[in-house]
Amino acid sequence: MGGVEDDEPASKRMKLSSEALIHLSNGSTVKESIVGSSRDLMARPLQSDGGEEVVGSKGVIKKVEFVRIIAKALYSLGYIRSGAHLEEESGIALHSSIINVFMRQVLEGDWDESVATLHNIGLTDEMIIKSASFLILEQKFFEFLDEEKVMDALKTLRTEISPLCINHGRVRELSLSIVSPSHCFTVRSPKQNTSRARSRTKLLEELQKLLPPTVMVPERRLEHLVEQALGLQRDACMFHNSLDEEISLFADHQCARDQIPSYALQILPAHTDEIWFLQFSHNGKYLASSSHDCSAIIWEVDANGISLKHKLSGHQKPVSSVSWSPDDHQLLTCGVEEVVRRWDASSGECLSVYEKAGLGMVSCGWSPDGKWIFSGVNDKSISLWELDGRELECWKGQHTLKISDLEITSDGKQIISICRETAILLLDREAKVERFIEEDQTITSFSLSRDNRFLLVNLLNQEIHLWSIEDDLKLVSKYRGHKRTRFIIRSCFGGLEQAFVASGSEDSLVRTLNLYYINL
């Protein structure tokens, strides 16, 4: 290694001030001056005995380690000559010579020699030596079996593997595999059905995992460090709403504010009264809106914007909600305490009307397979209908309120609705189990995430609560900031991977929050 002469007594070197050290590095050996320019680019390296240096502005990266993982990365990428050249030029060897010998012996199948070398590496932990020997001898065993040298394999097992006295369970499996090829537990690729031994390169990888990382540098270490850094950048990105593939190594990742919708693109005037509900179709090509003016409208979305497609009239009462069928061919609309209507989305024709004598519907939803329709009824029950109008089931009891949302999880198992002013019911249809989300305040609306794991609950007191509904019901976060006094405010999940929450507000603003940023 270039730098300070090694025969200088250690104590003398320690006393030298840093200024003097730099003098030394500037004026010393030939190797120094050649790489002088690249040295200048880095921060001043500190030299002490043994040539330990650091790189980077914070001085935490050890140069020897840095060069070794770069060399390893070059070799992994297949740039053998570059890797060798780096080792030579830097004077830093990727692996010590005995390790190189060991690796060569393993790859060439010199098993007994490699086990002997293993003992000479200088490892202090007996267990590691034994486990590594076990792996190597196991390879020897399986290669014998592959060559049909059964008695040699048995001899290896009896005289070399068992005496190690570790991993008796594995010894059992090995003895079974002598007689029974199908009961073999090594990892093998589907193509290699006849070979029971793994490849020698894979063996080397397994050995490397056993040995301390300073002895044998782990595979793909540099890639791992870079991925870690990218992960941290992504997590720190507040407006992150882009695909991972777009992250570049050249600059720290930071989504711009405009990754999130932040200004109005279009205004759609068509309804004549308050608009109460909106929903995009699953494929995003259509938008349905419903209004106090007793109608619903289907809009078409294309590159130029949104245009009106059909106006659906027929309800006698304001339409409180809409629901797209799973295949987006049909739309359900619900008149407040009136009927539920089913429409064909492409023709705008009303296909069915669902009603119950003397009662009114309050909400509607599709089953995930598109075969059934759920609706809340103003006698607090929930009904299940077949598309042709036949009622299949009815859950009576306090299941729903007069004005309420109704959602069904995408696996069809749970029905979610507001059953009391301050409670949401999660009804498991198969297990017939009811769970309740209890709040202190009146619930005005809720929204289910696409992955069925979370529920956003809007409350009367201007708070939005995020609940986890997967296993146990747990309140995860509370959000404040929007205004609500007179109207029903809705919030929803959005963005790529539904990582954001957006909510409306009576101060005419739409607020968005990044869920991951708030440590879910």
Give the footprint of other proteins on this chain (CB under 8 A). Answer: 150-151, 154, 157-159, 161-163, 168, 171-176, 178-180, 183
Q: Measured between alpha carbons, how far is 470 from 478 in angstroms, rounded to an integer?
A: 18
User: What's the min distance (Å) between Cβ of 96 and other proteins?
Assistant: 35
HEC assignment per residue over 375-439 = EEECCCCEEEEECCCCEEEEECCCCCCCCCCEEECCCCCEEEEEEECCEEEEEECCCCEEEEEEC
Nearer to other proteins, 150 or 270 (CB): 150
Nearer to other proteins, 137 or 319 (CB): 137
Nearer to other proteins, 99 or 171 (CB): 171
Nearer to other proteins, 168 or 282 (CB): 168
For residue 96, count other CB atoms closer than 10 A to its CB. Answer: 14
For residue 512, the one-letter residue type is T
Nearer to other proteins, 179 or 303 (CB): 179
* Nearest CA among 364, 413, 372, 368 for reference residue 391: 372
User: What's the min distance (Å) between Cβ of 379 and other proteins?
Assistant: 56
The answer to whether 339 and 381 have CB atoms below 8 angstroms apart is no
Q: Measured between alpha carbons, how far is 425 from 167 in angstroms, rounded to an integer?
A: 52
User: What's the min distance (Å) between Cβ of 133 and other proteins?
Assistant: 16
User: What's the min distance (Å) between Cβ of 131 and other proteins?
Assistant: 17
Strand 54-55 to 463-468 pairing: unpaired
The answer to whether 320 and 332 have CB atoms below 8 angstroms apart is no
User: What's the min distance (Å) between Cβ of 244 and other proteins?
Assistant: 43
User: What's the min distance (Å) between Cβ of 142 and other proteins?
Assistant: 14
Nearer to other proteins, 85 or 172 (CB): 172
Residue-wise over 468-490: b if at least 16 C-beta within 10 A, else e? Answer: bbeeeeeeebebeebebeeeebb
User: What's the min distance (Å) between Cβ of 453 and other proteins?
Assistant: 38
Nearer to other proteins, 145 or 464 (CB): 145
